[in-house]
Structure formats: C-alpha cells, structure tokens
C-alpha cells in the first residue's frame, strides 16, 4: 500500500483519496463551503500542522467515514507526489 504525505506527520493511503482540491479556488463555490462547514460540524475535518492550509484532501477509507484533511501543501505538490505512484490517481480540482 502506498501513502501520500500531506504534511507534518500525516499520511493517508493513496487508494483512499477521492480528490485533492485547491482551498482558495474550491471554497469560492457555495456548495463546497457548505460541505466543509458540515464536515467540520461532524468532526470529519483534521488540520495538518499549524500553517495556513492551501489545499484539502477528501478521503474515504474502506469501511470508515469520509475524512477531510486541510494541508499546508499546495495541490500541485500533492498531485506531483501522486504522479509518482504507478496507479490511477485522482485529479486536482481548482
């Protein structure tokens, strides 16, 4: 199993990633803001480190609830790391 390092000491299984999103661009949409607010209220959001987040990764491990990770790394950096993996990867949404 391959893992993607999201920052600090947080890594997620690459196969569990549904998508990686640019926080600035994605949060301009009302539906995304509502989703992130609801996810926060449900305790599904985890901040990766203490730096200002640049992206968020939506993950859904098999047999578990979805999770949202706020990462200080840019979506391009995370996508570049995923591109090194030899399997089908999610696209970065902007």
* Residue-wise pLDDT tens digits, 39-61: 999 999 999 999 999 999 999 99
Q: What is the structure's pLDDT at 17?
A: 95
Q: What is the structure's pLDDT at 90?
A: 53
Give residue limits of the domains in the chain. Answer: 3-84
In sequence order, what DSSP letters do the residues of the chain get, joined into one string? --EEEEETTEEEEGGGEEEEEEHHHHTTSHHHHHHHHHHHHTT-EEE-SSSPP-EEEEE--TTS--EEEEESS-HHHHHHHHTTSSS--PPEE-
Question: Which token pair is 19?
Answer: 């998508």
Least confident segment among 11-25, 51-65, 78-92: 78-92
């Amino acid at each position: 199993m391959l893992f993607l390092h999201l920052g600090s000491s947080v890594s997620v299984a690459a196969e569990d990633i549904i998508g990686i999103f640019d926080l600035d661009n994605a949060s301009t949409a009302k539906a995304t803001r509502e989703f992130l607010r609801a996810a926060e209220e449900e305790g599904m959001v985890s901040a990766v480190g203490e730096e200002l987040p640049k992206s968020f990764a939506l993950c859904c491990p098999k047999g578990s609830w979805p999770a949202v990770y706020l990462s200080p790394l840019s979506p391009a950096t995370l996508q570049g790391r995923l591109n090194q993996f030899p399997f089908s990867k999610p696209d970065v949404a902007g």
